[in-house]
Amino acid sequence: MKMEFFFKSVLAPILVILAAIGLYLGAYLPYAKGGMFISALQQASQAQTLQGLEDAFNSALNFYSPVGQQETERYVGDQIVNILGQKGITPQISQSLTDYLDRMIHVDHPTDRGLDFTQEYLLLANAHQINWTTTKNPSEFALAEKYYEEGLQISPVRPQFLYGLLQLYLNDGDAAQALQVAEKIHALWPTDDQITAMLPEIQKAASSTPALTVSTSTVTASSVEINVNPSK
């Protein structure tokens, strides 16, 4: 009887409270954070200034939830990279957006591994590559290269990092570096017809004196025009 009384009067209410807390932390807050992100997208689409854009995204990023913070960072990062890739973005706006992404995305999670974790490196690498193309700032090239290489250290055969590096070196006209990456891609995925077709031209550019222009429709998913300079 004492145990039954203890369970009904003490233990049962505690269990109910714990269950309610678990639902609040594990279900309600993540759901609310998702709703905040959807609202942030709507606000961002109507923003007239960079500050307005940042404020919209920060409303979702700063909303506390024990689950979903990194996912929200990646979703916002995707939006920023998409904006950076739009035509007509000025160097100043491009740099400001990239700086915002750098402040927002964190790659200091040493216990994290896997595809989701490396997505953060890929977002930063892609953003800095686009920003380098827009601003011509050498430090942006270095950061893009850094994040591609760090991502490869974590996930050595993830295609996006290798193809990103290839595009980076080709756009820089660095035939020697491009050849190393292209040969690695070809060794890993010999059925990639595009790389197979590009390899002879890159090899020729890397071993000859005159600059050679190689035009291709796509490297991975994006269209590029590739200028390889064997002098680099």
What is the model's pTM?
0.81
Summarised one tens digit per residue, pLDDT across range 167-199 is 999 999 999 999 999 999 999 999 999 999 999
For 33-78, how does the pLDDT look when each residue is reduced to its tens digit (9 = 90+)? 999 999 999 999 999 999 999 999 999 999 999 888 889 999 999 9
For the chain, the farthest-separated pair of C-alpha atoms sits apart, in whole angstroms, at: 95
Nearest by Cα to 121 from 146, 91, 86: 146
